[in-house]
């Protein structure tokens, strides 16, 4: 046999020997099996609760994902499209004319008049919520602005320290512990939810204008208020529309954020609770302009049967 062949054969034999010596036995003896160390067990950390973490994450995801609270999205999108058509045909042209005819100071005065007309509904809801000090301020503000303020055209109550406050029946129901339910787009009224949709209807029956003037003047005044609010939010609405890939989803998200902030349901401490604790609002900023850029803005409007 030649030397190269012998070297290759020798190398192959050494490889097999080393492989056999280095391999572990396929079957362990009973003594070896008993001597095998048991796997270490980890003690649970008392600082962590997996069940709580899962519940918290589920609740946080539900609140941060508005799609989960839009169980009738098909209907809502249809109503949203209809409201957009009404806005394009009616509200936008009327807003342009309104801005062209009246200067900004006059428009702000008219807006204050409608806010003053909404005060009886706010007063009743403050009483329902057992916020008697706030109710007294709302009543004093109504008297002062209705007399010295020329029906609300001016706002002497704010100078006296009685700032504008918002309250509606949906807020009252939330204060009583009723959950909001799914997202709901109402014809003309716009974004709402099951609870606040019912509250919007109930608020109309708290308006003295409905009983003193009748339903049609009440609706006419509500339309005027809707125009005043639509004009005050015109720039914000257009900015949201231009910057949104899905305008419907953007409006829904803005609505939930605004409403939950209004009811005191934002922040980590709010997870899992449904009891509002709204902060007092400053009338130096337009109170209705915080209505989450709602195109029809009737959620707290006084005399509109729909928004």
Would you call 306 helix, strand, or coil by DSSP? coil
The pLDDT assigned to 14 comes to 63
Q: Report how far apart the first and last C-alpha atoms of the chain are (Å, whole number).
A: 103
- 103 phi and psi angles, rounded to 5 deg: -75, 170
| Sign of the Cα pseudo-torsion (204, 208, 213, 218, in order) | negative
Q: Hey, what long-range contacts does 217-222 have (CB within 8 A, 24 or more apart)? A: 218/303, 218/305, 219/303, 219/304, 219/305, 220/303, 221/114, 221/117, 221/302, 221/303, 222/298, 222/301, 222/302, 222/303, 222/304, 222/305
The per-residue DSSP string of 172-214 comes to HHHHTT----SEEEETTTEEEEHHHHHHHHHHHTT-HHHHHT-
Of the candidates 67, 303, 297, which has an alpha carbon nearest to the alpha carbon of residue 186?
A: 297
pLDDT at residue number 69: 79
| Strand 183-186 to 190-193 pairing | antiparallel
Confidence of residue 7 (pLDDT cuts 50, 70, 90): low
Higher pLDDT, 277 or 171: 171
Tally of domains within the chain: 1
Position 156 in a domain: yes
Contact 77, 246 (CB under 8 A): no
- Domain annotation covers residue 115: yes
Task: Taking residues 92-100, report their average pLDDT.
Answer: 94
- Residue 217 vs residue 29, higher pLDDT: 217
State the average pLDDT over residues 110-119: 94
Judge whether 179 lies within some domain. Answer: yes
Q: How far apart are CA 121 and CA 142, in angstroms?
A: 11
- Choose between 183 and 32: higher pLDDT: 183
Q: How far from 173 is each of 23, 43, 69, 147, 253, CA to CA, in Å?
A: 75, 47, 18, 32, 22
The answer to whether residue 144 scores a pLDDT higher than 70 is: yes
When mean pLDDT is compared across 31-45, 173-187, 244-258, the lowest value belongs to: 31-45
Classify residue 181: in a domain, yes or no: yes
More confident residue, 296 or 220: 220
pLDDT at 12: 64
Taken as a whole, the chain contains a residue count of 307
Rounded CA-CA distance 37/33 in Å is: 9
Report yes or no on 151 lying in a domain.
Answer: yes
- Could you tell me if residue 38 is inside a domain? no
pLDDT at 264: 77
Give 215-222 contacts, CB < 8 A, sequence gap 24+: 215/305, 218/303, 218/305, 219/303, 219/304, 219/305, 220/303, 221/114, 221/117, 221/302, 221/303, 222/298, 222/301, 222/302, 222/303, 222/304, 222/305
**Residue 199: both structure tokens together:** 């509250």
How far apart (Å, rounded) are the C-alpha atoms in residues 174 and 206?
A: 18
Q: What is the pTM of this model?
A: 0.65
Residue 202 binned pLDDT confidence (cut-offs 50, 70, 90): very high
Q: Residue 300's closest CA among 125, 64, 93?
A: 125
The token pair at 274 is 């449904």
Residue 28 domain flag: no
Helix (H) / strand (E) element for 271: namely: none
Average pLDDT over residues 226-239: 90
In this prediction, residue 18 has a pLDDT band, given cuts at 50, 70 and 90, of low
User: Which has the higher per-residue pLDDT, 6 or 147?
Assistant: 147
- What pLDDT was estimated at residue 64? 53
Mean pLDDT of the region 187-201: 93
Domain of residue 132 covers 79-290
- Looking at residues 50-59, what average pLDDT do you find? 51
The Cα-based distances of 26 to 16, 29, 33 in angstroms read 17, 10, 12
**Confidence class of residue 206 from pLDDT cuts 50, 70 and 90?**
very high
pLDDT at 261: 87
Instruction: Quote helix, strand, coil % in the chain, to nearest 5.
Output: 65, 5, 35
How confident is the model over 261-304, as pLDDT tens digits? 888 765 433 333 344 444 444 433 343 433 433 433 333 333 33
pLDDT tens digits for range 62-79: 555 544 479 999 999 999
12: in domain = no
């Amino acid at each position: 046999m030649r030397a190269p062949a012998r070297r290759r054969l020798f190398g192959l034999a050494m490889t097999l020997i080393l492989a056999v010596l280095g391999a572990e036995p396929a079957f362990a003896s009973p003594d070896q099996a008993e001597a095998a160390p048991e796997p270490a067990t980890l003690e649970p950390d008392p600082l962590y609760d997996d069940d709580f973490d899962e519940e918290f994450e589920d609740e946080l995801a539900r609140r941060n994902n508005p799609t989960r609270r839009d169980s009738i999205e098909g209907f809502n999108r249809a109503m949203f499209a209809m409201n957009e058509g009404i806005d394009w045909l009616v509200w936008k042209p009327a807003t342009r004319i309104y801005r062209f005819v009246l200067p900004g100071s006059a428009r702000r005065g008219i807006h204050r008049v409608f806010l003053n007309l909404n005060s009886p509904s706010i007063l009743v809801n403050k009483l329902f919520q057992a916020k008697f000090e706030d109710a007294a301020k709302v009543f004093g503000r109504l008297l002062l602005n209705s007399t010295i303020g020329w029906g609300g055209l001016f706002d002497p109550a704010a100078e006296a320290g009685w700032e504008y406050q918002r309250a509606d029946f949906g807020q009252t129901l939330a204060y009583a512990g009723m959950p909001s339910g799914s997202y709901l787009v109402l014809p003309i009224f716009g974004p709402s939810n099951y609870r606040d949709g019912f509250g919007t209807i109930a608020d109309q029956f708290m308006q003295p204008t409905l009983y003193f003037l009748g339903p049609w003047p009440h609706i006419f005044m509500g339309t005027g208020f809707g125009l005043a609010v639509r004009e005050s939010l015109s720039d914000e609405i257009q900015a949201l529309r231009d910057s949104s890939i899905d305008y419907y989803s953007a409006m829904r998200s803005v609505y939930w954020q605004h409403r939950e902030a209004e009811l005191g349901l934002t922040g980590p401490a709010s997870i899992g609770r449904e009891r509002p604790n709204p902060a007092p609002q400053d009338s130096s900023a337009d109170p209705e302009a915080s209505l989450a850029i709602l195109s029809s803005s009737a959620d707290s409007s006084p005399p509109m049967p729909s928004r």
